[in-house]
Chain A
């Protein structure tokens, strides 16, 4: 049975986050030094070798992404850390930033060196003012020590829009425009912030980097599920005994997460479902709990890893009611740019409300399935594509909940 393994949370509780000396005493910024001595190409190769895949949810190979930006010719490149941690039930990035901000800065600085950028941004969730304060102090300390060299980092605050966690909406927001996603391609590593090559990585991804550089890509690639190696931080909420966080290797199963680390269901009740990855995550039934918490393994069961939010529901929960609330959330958070999301999230909420109130029929369920299907493959960005997942997966795995409410 898997054990917890702390890579990104390696300094959690061990250092004073506002004292850079503590971070340095743990070997901090040695990796940056090493990276600079390796040269850009070798560095990127090693990150590729680690097979580290983005921890923001899309699971793209990190070293590959960097190589696109590195090979692009431009007078200016940017590194952006996506710290707009808006996914309900998720606080892994906050843990890292509050407890070990320098590991994030070091990871960004290594990336900046790798691609040839000298300006970085941390786009931090607006509801985290204390984190912004910590980050600014940490940046000042790193600069005062001369550790960042010519790399400058600026913290930008989000303003509460969920969609700004989508990398191109985030870029628009930094540019001062409405936070709305762009169509892709072009992808940010080719044309991102102010149309310059830009790497956008999640906090957790960057926090992995110093360790990978320090111990080598091969070491990292050996941890957990080979297709999605390393660890992943999960934050457990809902009807689970241990409502807390765990960093586990990616070959851990959902069952272990819920029952071993989570300590099982509260009040001696039975497990009903778990939603992993945040609001847009799939609802997973008991029968699929032996899936590993790795990107492709999750995809294979029609689920995602997302942010690692793990929302556990016991046998008493009504999934139609839960999905209705989620549909309302997406109606509220749709930016409105593309037609299927703007109109679709609103209609999805209307239909779910109707069903939840006992006024719906099987025709409405069928319409929801069609709408969800169309949204999932025709919306402009991940928000609209993922928004129907809770509805579609509850219809699929928990039809009894729906049938109970049909007219």
Chain B
């Protein structure tokens, strides 16, 4: 780095050429006051508080935008500088309500800090003041523009961090106002309530509503933790006052997200105090739940589980662990299932989302996780190729980063049957028909091979089975593919050429790919495309399944799967089994266990007699739920450990109250294979953490399970799992690493398959087109596709009063063509029926969906979407085909 010599306040220092005076001063340990400067935002140079004196310059330049030069002589606190700063502060407070004593930002207000520093008590500039009404019409943010100093940080954060462009300036001069289009309240604007504006605001203009009046800023204890919603792995600080969480504050040191969060992460935490939280164990007696002591509950569970095991054999038991829970809890549940119950019937909700990724990428590459990391979206990628993924709603912070990248020149291609936000913003949007991903991908490969754009060296050196791939792709001519997918031949060529010829092309996908009858084959087809073009094993490339749940990666890593122990070690491998038997002191089963759909089928058939479910709600989230309800009814004994008495918990015989993420120590592993700490901020509402409950329950069954702290559970896991052996709680305090990380001195592995695939050679897996299991027909003429919306997470957010007050019901997307036929308008009630069930929902008329298609989320128990979704499953991974089924819709004129 080229350095220049400068003199600041009489001291000669070196500064990197090209840095600003402000940065150079900071390096020299000199803090220059600033209000509009924010290192994460573009420079504005507008508050002028950071002005300095530079020899030879008749003006006082703003240090935040003035580059250093060799020999520059700078004074940061000269008389004229101090006079300017004091005068600017006087001007700002002349138009500021000096109600600091009741201001929610008191203690963290930069304006107050600088007035204090320069002794500005009052303003000599008495005169007109703005009087704006306070916008508190939304549940999350208090917007008091009387306290706005027009630093523009909120405007820039909205545009540059989130890319929502919801804020700009109104009027000029003294009447300038940073506000929404039309100057409407946030709630009436396009605001997505990510709260980035609040995180960057230097004054009390934008504050967290939940904290108002509850704590002065210096009284708040900040506990850094990991978000309990999607798999991005955002970190933030829980704001704790008097043993109570009062809000979420951004933590600039968060490794994945910096200060960016989404509405769920920043404002969805209030579910932890929902009055419906369970605090004591419940035992069902004569069909009704009664409160019970922990001892009563444990005794009953121990007795019943033991009975079932003795009477019907170990495989009559099945357990579901949870992608919502910590790694440590997941590890204990699978250990309990295997070592105590003696069966491999352990699974969790990855089955219903990314099991095809685990299976498909394991087939193609040898390991089933994101090959690359999120930061490469903005730092490396030249093209983002998205297929079957809606990031700005399902993984908002990842989506925001993609938008940032696109705005900085990275190309964006989106393949999606639905017009998602990023589809609308993309350079090229391929609107393939539902369930035609394999022909689309084969078609792209056909063109790449035909035009000689494939990476011949990569194919020769790094892969196998290419000839079969080539032969199959040859059949997928652009014309043929266009006919199947509805994508124009011209667009197929554009995308094929762009993807193949862009050096750093990064593929992302999610449940639009996996939740199909051919989900695993869809995944392998993306892997085929990446291998064909050599887009693997380097920064800015790869095949990247973004995972939807906070710890779905971790729950898989921990072995909450029927075929593997932690670290993806096969249960059928004798040496591995023996290693575990030795540590766990128990004989372990050698047969692969049942997957979720198989468990419910077995329960239906009377083969599974007892179940334990930790933190999952299949009745809301799994497909074809009427079948699942019948299965649960048939169980002899059923235990659920949960925060709330969920739809699934209602079926239980014993419900154990669970602790939320704010109440437990542990770890979540994000979608990038990055374990991060979850830290206990408050005492568990049920009195104990989940890992303690599991240990006590299992101990009662005669298997002593005892740890002092979750770090010991992690340590046991790591000692058994070579890919995570180098990661410990101690290390996580210091740094954030990605597995594989085989030893404490290993730096971790952000990028997989560099030089060599995990399986050796990458395997092309040619796949033919497999149409969805059920397509619209004469009786059920409409295609139903399902997914997640931005405001809600699959479960839990329904218990957030704040989020629910903004979006409290299902709004089913219906194309205007269907709406017109049935006389539906937005807000109408509509009955949706399939061969498996029916429900009544609310209509949102929108052309985001194609004609003949409706789209539903599955968040609300009043509209149980999964009563109608498909019973078809991916033949390899057992994942339900949530994305396509046939339904009919009717206009329901309901009274009231």
Contacts and interface: CB of A to CB of B under 8 A. Distances in A.
Interface of A: 161, 178, 183, 185, 331-340, 342-347, 350-351, 367, 370-371, 373-374, 377-380, 385
Given A334-B173, A374-B87, 6 more contacts: A337-B176, A338-B47, A350-B125, A367-B124, A370-B83, A371-B125
Given A178-B169, A183-B65, A380-B48, A336 B84 contact: no
Given A340-B88, A370-B87, A347 B48 contact: no
Contact of B94 (A332, A335, A347): A347
Interface string B149-170: 1100000000000000000110
A212 B262 CA distance: 61
Interface in B262-314: none
A302 to B, nearest CB: 12
A342 B176 contact: yes
Contacts of B47: 338-339
| A-B interface, 3 closest residue pairs, ranked by CB to CB distance from nearest | A336-B176, A183-B45, A343-B91
B46 interface: yes
A344 B62 contact: no
Contacts of B80: 377
A337 B124 CA distance: 22
A339 B49 contact: yes
A331 B175 CA distance: 10
15 contacts: A183-B45, A183-B65, A185-B66, A333-B173, A335-B176, A336-B173, A336-B176, A338-B46, A343-B92, A350-B127, A373-B83, A374-B87, A377-B60, A378-B51, A378-B88
Contacts of A337: 44, 46, 176
Nearest to A376: B59
A369 to B, nearest CB: 11
Contacts of A385: 59
B116 interface: no
A379 B127 CA distance: 21
Contacts of A335: 172-173, 176
A166 to B, nearest CB: 14
A367 B176 CA distance: 24
Contacts of A183: 43-45, 62, 65
Main secondary structure of the interface of A (DSSP, over half): helix
Nearest to A184: B65
B58 interface: yes
A344 B47 CA distance: 12
Nearest to B87: A374
Interface residues of B, number: 39
A380 B87 CA distance: 15
B128 A377 contact: no
A374 B83 CA distance: 7
B174 interface: yes
B785 to A, nearest CB: 38
Contact of B149 (A339, A370, A371, A377): A339
B171 interface: yes
B67 interface: yes
B896 to A, nearest CB: 49
A374 B58 CA distance: 12
B95 interface: yes
Nearest to B58: A377
Contact of B174 (A185, A331, A370, A371): A331
B8 to A, nearest CB: 19
A339 B46 contact: yes
Given A339-B92, A347-B127, A370-B87, A378 B173 contact: no
B870 to A, nearest CB: 48
Interface string B88-132: 100110110000000000000000000000000000110110000
Given A333-B173, A350-B127, A378 B84 contact: yes
A346 B49 CA distance: 18
B88 A339 contact: yes
Contact of B46 (A161, A331, A380): A380
A351 B124 CA distance: 11
B91 A340 contact: yes
Given A339-B150, A346-B174, A377 B59 contact: yes
A346 B127 contact: yes
Of B88, B168, B169, most buried by chain A (CB within 10 Å of CB) is B88
A336 B175 contact: yes
B173 A342 contact: yes
Contacts of B59: 377-378, 385
Contacts of A340: 48, 84, 87-88, 91
B110 to A, nearest CB: 13
Contacts of A378: 48, 51, 59-60, 84, 88
Contacts of B44: 183, 337
B60 A342 contact: no
B173 A332 contact: yes
B171 A336 contact: yes
Contacts of B168: 178
A334 B58 contact: no
A320 to B, nearest CB: 18
Contacts of A367: 124-125
B83 A336 contact: no
A342 B174 contact: yes
Contacts of A370: 83, 87
A232 to B, nearest CB: 23
Nearest to B171: A336
Contacts of B125: 343, 347, 350-351, 367, 371
Contacts of A161: 172
Given A370-B87, A377-B58, A339 B48 contact: yes
B577 to A, nearest CB: 62
A388 to B, nearest CB: 12
Contacts of A178: 168-169
Contacts of A373: 83
B150 A331 contact: no
Contacts of A332: 173
B93 to A, nearest CB: 10
A379 B48 contact: yes
Contacts of A380: 45-46, 48, 62
A214 B128 CA distance: 57
Given A345-B173, A378-B60, A380-B62, A338 B87 contact: no
Contacts of A185: 66-67
Given A340-B91, A350-B127, A377-B58, A331 B173 contact: yes
Nearest to A334: B173
Given A343-B91, A343-B94, A377-B80, A334 B172 contact: yes
Interface in B612-649: none
A336 B172 contact: yes
Interface string B28-52: 0000000100000001111111010
Given A339-B92, A380-B48, A334 B87 contact: no
Contact of A371 (B49, B67, B87, B173): B87
A128 B59 CA distance: 34
A282 to B, nearest CB: 15
B627 to A, nearest CB: 57
Contacts of A342: 150, 173-174, 176
Contact of A374 (B43, B84, B94, B174): B84
B124 A339 contact: no
Contacts of A350: 125, 127-128
Contacts of B173: 331-336, 342, 345-346
Of A332, A334, A339, A351, most buried by chain B (CB within 10 Å of CB) is A339
A374 B91 CA distance: 11
Of A178, A342, A344, A380, most buried by chain B (CB within 10 Å of CB) is A342
B497 to A, nearest CB: 22
Interface in B207-252: none
Contacts of B51: 377-378
Contacts of B49: 339
A257 to B, nearest CB: 26
Nearest to A185: B67
B82 to A, nearest CB: 11
